Structure formats: structure tokens, C-alpha cells
Amino acid sequence: MSASVVLPRAAARRAPLPSAFVFELVKLLSQWRIRLVLAACWLAPAAFVVAVSGQGSLPTDTVFGRWMHATGWADSLVVLAFSCTWALPLLTSLVAGDVFATEDRLGTWQHLLVAVRSKHRIFAAKALASLVVVLLLVTGLAASSIAGGLAAIGNRPLVGLDGHTLTPVQAAGTVLLAWACVLAPTLAFAAVGLLGSVVLGRSPMGLLAPALLALLLQVAQVLPLPLVVRVALPSQGFLAWRGLFTSPVQTGPLLAGLLVSLAWTVVATTLAHLLFLRRDFTQPAHDGSGRRVLLAATLPLAALLAASVAVVSAVTPASGSGVDAPGLERSLATSYAHLYRLQSAELNRPDVTEAQLRTSAACDKGGSLVEDRGPGSDWRCVVSWHIPGATATGSAIYQLDVTADGRYVADGDGPKEVNGYFPVHTPTGVAPNPLWQLDGSVDLLDPHASKG
């Protein structure tokens, strides 16, 4: 008589996370769509910058656009500004917005689950692979635009958004920091892409979730929403990097943008994870989408937005639109003083300091019948300054077009010695007059501003 002893076998081991991650990365990078986008991100910005360097006109409606012929660092910032508007949300759509849905389309979920044997690891591997590809895309945009700018224009000083000059080394550091800062909202949009991909299954709406969110937020930016709502939107981080190019740095909007982006990243990723774990994969016809799942995904995000608004309202001095006469006057006077010194250097005039100039500005919106608050193209400011040794006070009039995000373009009108002509004749040739038109940025969360 014989007896067989049966030893219990251990449960099948889960696939190692690094292997699952590499598998997901290979799958992503094998898609022609991703390869095409990667190539575009690494080549197109440089090509764009080189093309612009050979043209007479500049994209002055884009922040830093008017400095594209002055320094290569401005070229990278123009690409950054454009990327923040559309490119980055679209890129996250293409990558993170499809990373789960593609398994539904290919019918490979059960294969993957049997191979990896852990929903947690599948989710982690997909999220990490998406993150790496998104980072590769953003790195490509940054590297290509910087390389193109430096090659086509050169490593020269950069004029900031308050007119102060950054040395090439300072410009390099700040431009890299600006690209790093937009990673936060990019990751927030990528997390929304993951969530859309999990929630909407094989529907193309999942693929479009970050792009649709970006479109919604673009619309929100042109609506007369209160500042606390604007700052609490996940797209705030795509605007806040501009605050790095003022002195002092506009830390309020920057921190708010980073924290809101971080919150959206964590909440959307956690939601995607939980909904993914709840999904039943034994029914191939069902891709996990449904009204209840959709609600489970959107309601927490709506709650997060409400909570963000409440927190921003409580901890910042933000009120109304954030754009008012005192803020504009401070910003314009500072910019003017910095740019006056730049112009003096270009024209070989004796240098003066900002303290000597004692620049001030007086702004009015739309005449006496309109309250001096809010964005609009009807701001009119008179800038006054003192020249050492002269008894008369210089003054210039600027028409300001102020947008809701605090950016403004000031268009000067005399005197002719200061901003009467677009070109100025410098010892090295003809250059754009820095005081003819100038870009500025109001700190919407200026701690000096009074609340209420």
C-alpha cells in the first residue's frame, strides 16, 4: 500500500513590478502614435525656433514672444507657454488617457491579469510607464526648444516679466525651473487621463478626458470667475510659472498651482486605482464603464475643486478678480524702471538706478464711471519718473490690455525720446525699443493687497 503526500503549493507569485513596468513601457513605445509624438516633441520645438529666428515678425501675443530674437531662453519660454495652452494636455491624453483603454480594445485584460496576477501591480506599472513617457515628452519639448534657441539666437541675458534682466546663468536656471514647475499640472492632467481611461473603458471619451478638461478650463479662464476659483483650478500651474520671472518671485500663485496640481494628481490617481480594483474582468463585453462609475469618478473631483476654492479663499488675500489699480501701478512702475535702465544701457546713456528714477504709475480703468478693477483692454496708466540732475519729471502714457490671469501688455505713447519709436539705434545696431511695448505680470495673490 502506498500513500501519496500532497504538499500544498504556494500561490502563484505576482510578476515583479519592474518587469510589469518594462512590459507596459515596451507596449507604449511600440505604438506608432507614441513614437510619432515623441519624435515631434524632440524635433518640432527646435525647428519652430529656428524658423522664427529667420523671420521678421515675432509672436508678441505670446508671453516672452517679443524677446525671441534677443535670447535663446525666450524661445524656450514661448514653446513652454504654447505647450501649457494645448500641447501638454493633449500629450497626456494620448499617453495616460489610453493606457487602460487599449487593453479593452485589444481584449487583453484577462491575459494581462493571468500574467501579472496583481491588479495593484498592473495599475502601478501602467501609471509609472505613462509617467515615464509623459516625462520623456516634456523633456523633449524643453530640451529641443532650449537647444534650438541657443543654437539659433544664443545664450544671452533674458528680460523678465517685470523688466529686470537675468544673466544667462540665471536665465538657464529659471527656464529649467519653469519647465519643472509645469510638470505638476501635467501630472494632474495625466492622472485625469488615467481616471478617464479606467472609467470610460474603450470609449474614445476616455482618451479625450484631459483634452476636454483643458478645453473646459480654457473656457473658465475667459469667464469672469472670481480669483479664488481660478487659482483653485488644476490649470493654474500652467500659468503660475510666469511668476518665476519677476523679482521677487510671485510665490503665491506658484505655490497654489503646485499644491492644487498635487491634490488633483493624488485624488485622480487614487480614484482611478480604486475603480480599477473594483472592476470585474470576467465579462469581456463589459469594459467597466457606466453611469455609476462615471459619478464615482467625477463627484470626488468636483468636491476637490470646492475644497480647493474654500482653502484658497481662507489662506490667501485673493478677492474679486485680483486685478486692481494699486497692483497694476506697482507692477508697471517696477517694469518701467527696469526697462528704462535697459534702454539707457542700449543707448549708451548714463546709468541710473531704480531708486534714483523714483518711478510711479497712476492707472485708471475706462474713465471715471468705471471701477478701477478687473481685467480689460481699457486700462490707461501714466508713468512718471525722475532723471537725476533734471528738474522736470518725465511721464509716459501706456494703454494696458490686462487679461484675467494677471498678464498685461502695455503699449506706450510718448515721449519720443523714451517710447516714441519702435526701433532704437544701439552701438551694435538696430534693436527693438524695450519701452515701446512691454509685457508685465500682476501678482494676483499679492500679500500687500488688501482683502475685500
Partner 1 sequence: MGGCPAVRARGIGKSFGDVVALDGVDLDVPEGQVHGLVGPNGAGKSTLLGLLLGLAVPDAGRLELLGTSVGRSAAVPEGVAGFLNGPGLYPSLTARRNLAALASLRGGSASDVAEVLDRVGLDEVADDRVRGFSLGMRQRLGLAAAMLTRPRLLVLDEPANGLDPAAKAQVHRVITTLAAEGTAVVLSSHRMDDLAALCAEVTILSTGHAVFSGPVGKLLAESGDLDHRVRTSDLDTARRVAAGTPGLRTVPGDEGARQDPDTLVVRGPEPVLDDLVVRLVGAGVGVRELTPVVAPLEAAFLALTDVEPDTYEEGEQ
Residues lying near partner 1 in the complex (CB under 8 A) are found at 4, 6-13, 15-16, 19-20, 22-23, 26-27, 30-32, 106-117, 280-284
Measured from the CB of residue 94, what is the shortest distance to partner 1 in angstroms?
Answer: 15
Measured from the CB of residue 108, what is the shortest distance to partner 1 in angstroms?
Answer: 4
| Closer by beta carbon to partner 1, 126 or else 230 | 126
Q: In what order do the strands lie in the sheet with 376-386?
A: 360-365, 376-386, 393-402, 407-413, 437-441
Backbone φ, ψ for residue 363 (5° rounding): -115, 150
| Closer by beta carbon to partner 1, 108 or else 393 | 108
Residue corresponding to grid cell 507596449? 27
| Closer by beta carbon to partner 1, 290 or else 388 | 290
Measured from the CB of residue 201, what is the shortest distance to partner 1 in angstroms?
Answer: 15
| Closer by beta carbon to partner 1, 283 or else 368 | 283
Peptide bond before 248: cis, by omega within 30 degrees of 0?
yes
Backbone φ, ψ for residue 153 (5° rounding): -110, -50
**Cross-strand pairs, 365:** 379
| Closer by beta carbon to partner 1, 12 or else 392 | 12
**Nearest to 339, CA basis, from 422, 241, 418:** 418
| Closer by beta carbon to partner 1, 116 or else 332 | 116
SS3 assignment, position 343: helix
Task: Locate 162 and state its grid cell.
Answer: 517685470
Measured from the CB of residue 9, what is the shortest distance to partner 1 in angstroms?
Answer: 4
Task: Locate 233 and state its grid cell.
Answer: 483650478
Measured from the CB of residue 207, what is the shortest distance to partner 1 in angstroms?
Answer: 17
Measured from the CB of residue 157, what is the shortest distance to partner 1 in angstroms?
Answer: 47
| Closer by beta carbon to partner 1, 66 or else 126 | 126
Task: Locate 91 and state its grid cell.
Answer: 500629450
Measured from the CB of residue 283, what is the shortest distance to partner 1 in angstroms?
Answer: 7
| Closer by beta carbon to partner 1, 29 or else 431 | 29
Task: Locate 34 and state its grid cell.
Answer: 507614441
**Nearest to 434, CA basis, from 405, 396, 403:** 396
> How many C-beta atoms surround the C-beta of residue 36 within 10 A?
11
Give strand ranges (E) for 325-418: 360-365, 376-386, 393-402, 407-413
| Closer by beta carbon to partner 1, 3 or else 369 | 3
Distance from C-alpha of 371 to C-alpha of 259, rounded to nearest angstrom:
33
Measured from the CB of residue 411, what is the shortest distance to partner 1 in angstroms?
Answer: 52
Task: Locate 273 and state its grid cell.
Answer: 486605482
Task: Locate 56 and state its grid cell.
Answer: 521678421
**Nearest to 163, CA basis, from 438, 446, 448:** 438
Task: Locate 435 and state its grid cell.
Answer: 519701452
| Closer by beta carbon to partner 1, 105 or else 425 | 105
SS3 assignment, position 250: coil
Measured from the CB of residue 195, what is the shortest distance to partner 1 in angstroms?
Answer: 23
Residue corresponding to grid cell 517696477? 334
Whether 183 contacts 207, CB under 8 Å: no
The DSSP letter of residue 425 is E
Measured from the CB of residue 116, what is the shortest distance to partner 1 in angstroms?
Answer: 6
Task: Locate 125 and state its grid cell.
Answer: 506599472
| Closer by beta carbon to partner 1, 19 or else 298 | 19
Residue corresponding to grid cell 501635467? 186
Distance from C-alpha of 152 to C-alpha of 296, rounded to nearest angstrom:
50
Measured from the CB of residue 199, what is the shortest distance to partner 1 in angstroms?
Answer: 19
